């Protein structure tokens, strides 16, 4: 004789709990990934800001300023181990190491007198061998 009682069976409750648990696990992992992406984006924006500060500084100084001096090696534009110049830049509450290398009279691998190529790199403050952001400035003698 079938039962006329209303309610849920144990199997229905277990299926509902399993679906709920999977939903909670998905939501937590989604939140964790979003948090990680937010940290990466924040660090990238801060690095871009630090590079922009140095870019503006170097763009505003004269062509002969010591901040635009080359160490004599025009092939070291991407060398982060021995930069021509370095400076720490505070963005928010964190200090970012910024380095830049200068190549006299070099414009995109062609010899052009009266130009300097400056490659600015912002390093990860937690792992200084990692470049977070890079930008190139071409400085002419008349600018």
The pTM of this model reads: 0.75
- Digits of tens for pLDDT over the chain (143 positions)? 566 667 788 898 999 999 999 999 999 999 999 999 998 899 999 999 999 999 999 999 998 899 999 888 878 888 898 899 999 999 989 999 999 999 887 555 565 567 888 999 999 998 878 999 999 999 887 76
Residue 52 buriedness (CB in 10 A; 0-12 / 13-18 / 19+):
middle
| pLDDT (0 to 100) of residue 114 | 79
77-93: pLDDT as tens digits: 888 988 999 999 999 89
- Torsion 13-17-23-27 (CA) sign: positive
Tokens matching residue 101: 């290398």
């Amino acid at each position: 004789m079938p039962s006329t009682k209303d309610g849920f069976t144990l199997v229905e409750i277990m299926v509902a709990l399993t679906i709920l648990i999977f939903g909670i696990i998905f939501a937590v992992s989604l939140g964790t990934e979003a948090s990680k992406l937010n940290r990466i984006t924040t660090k990238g924006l801060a690095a871009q800001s630090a590079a922009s500060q140095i870019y503006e500084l170097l763009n505003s100084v004269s062509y002969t300023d010591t901040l635009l001096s080359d160490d004599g090696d025009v092939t070291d534009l991407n060398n982060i181990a021995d930069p021509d110049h370095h400076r720490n830049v505070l963005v928010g509450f964190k200090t970012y190491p910024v380095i830049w290398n200068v190549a006299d009279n070099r414009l995109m691998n062609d010899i052009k007198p009266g130009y300097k190529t400056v490659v600015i790199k912002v390093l990860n403050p937690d792992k200084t061998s990692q470049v977070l952001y890079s930008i190139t400035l071409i400085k002419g003698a008349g600018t």
